[in-house]
């Protein structure tokens, strides 16, 4: 299966090269090639995850290697869905960088399939982790778009108003998507925790930081829809929210100990 993993990584690197060439040359061939390579990477990853699932006899979402593979897959799929609806040329390059880096980082961890610890031996594993990482994928794409909003705002004299409006609209939609799935992830995690540990909520570090992340994006949606925040203000909340996602994902695993320390 390592060949499939490497093929996925190569596809994302190829997508990055084609996307950069397109941005420099504006030749449509390279735009189509970049999206084709991204789709190929997502397809190869889907096959890889499926084969690993069959071989392990469980959802392959139990450790850092497997979660990084899932993270890259979710970003690629969400980007491709967005690409069907909107054409944001530089977003393909940014998404392919993210996917390639996630898989490159995954390659530094042990990839062997090992038995699950007792707390993870539950059908809730696939529901909880998959919903969380679909949320993370949405937030990652929103983070990339948030950076684009800041850049567009700084170059306001050279960027068309409708371009900035498109970026803000897509950022809001991806955050709404991510917020929905993070909410489902927290709820399924609570049910799973009650089944495994006898309590729905224990203020474990990852639970706490997941809740903090949820509140940050809840603030974004409130300010966007109820207060009409736009431009830099909303972009910064998106960026801060993704920083919280990264700490929830990486920081808690390596800096704090708790019930979720098995993810190390």
For the chain, which residues make up each domain, given as ranges? 1-112, 120-264
The set of residues, in sequence order, having a beta carbon less than 8 Å from that of 40 and lying 6+ positions away, is 11
**Angle at CA of residue 146, ends 141 and 150, nearest 5°:** 150
Q: Which of 1, 104, 10, 6 is nearest to 50 (CA)?
A: 1
Q: What gap in Å lies between CA 147 and CA 145, rounded to an integer?
A: 5
**Cα dihedral 201, 262, 186, 91 in deg (nearest 10):** 150
Q: In this predicted structure, what is the pLDDT of residue 138?
A: 96
Q: pLDDT tens string for the chain (264 positions)?
A: 788 899 999 999 999 999 999 989 888 899 899 999 999 999 999 999 999 999 988 888 888 899 999 999 999 999 999 998 888 888 999 999 999 999 999 999 888 888 777 667 777 778 888 999 999 999 999 999 999 888 877 765 445 655 778 888 899 999 999 999 999 999 998 888 787 677 777 778 888 899 999 999 999 999 888 777 777 888 999 999 999 999 998 877 777 665 555 554
Q: How far apart are CA 137 and CA 31, in angstroms?
A: 22
Instruction: Domain 1-112: give its CATH code.
Output: 1.20.120
Helix (H, G, I), strand (E, B) or coil at 107: coil
Q: Which residues contact 182 (CB under 8 A, 6 or more apart)?
A: 131, 132, 135, 136, 139, 210, 213, 214, 217
Q: Give which of 226, 151, 144, 207 is closest to 178, Cα–Cα.
A: 144
Structure tokens, 130: 């998959």
Q: What is the DSSP letter of 115?
A: P
């Amino acid at each position: 299966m390592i060949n499939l993993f490497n093929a996925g990584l190569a596809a994302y690197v190829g997508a990055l090269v084609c996307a950069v060439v397109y941005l420099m040359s504006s030749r449509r061939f390279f735009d189509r090639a970049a999206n084709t390579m991204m789709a190929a990477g997502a397809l190869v990853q889907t096959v890889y995850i499926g084969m690993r699932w069959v071989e392990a006899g469980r959802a392959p979402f139990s450790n850092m290697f497997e979660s990084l593979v899932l993270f890259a897959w979710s970003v690629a799929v969400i980007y491709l869905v967005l690409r069907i609806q909107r054409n944001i040329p530089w977003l393909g390059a940014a998404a392919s960088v993210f996917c390639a880096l996630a898989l490159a980082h995954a390659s530094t961890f042990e990839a062997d399939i090992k038995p699950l610890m007792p707390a993870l031996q539950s059908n809730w594993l696939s529901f909880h982790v998959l919903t969380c990482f679909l949320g993370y994928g949405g937030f990652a794409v929103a983070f990339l778009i948030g950076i684009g909003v800041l850049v567009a705002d700084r170059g306001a004299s050279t960027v068309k108003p409708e371009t900035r409006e498109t970026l803000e609209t897509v950022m809001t939609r991806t955050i709404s998507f991510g917020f929905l799935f993070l909410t489902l992830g927290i709820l399924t995690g609570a049910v799973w925790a009650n089944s495994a540990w006898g309590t729905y909520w224990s203020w474990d570090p990852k639970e706490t930081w997941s809740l903090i992340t949820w509140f940050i994006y809840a603030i974004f949606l409130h300010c966007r829809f109820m207060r009409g925040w736009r431009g830099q203000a909303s972009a910064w909340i998106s960026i801060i929210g993704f920083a919280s996602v990264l700490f929830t994902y990486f920081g808690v695993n390596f800096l704090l100990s708790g019930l979720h320390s098995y993810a190390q």
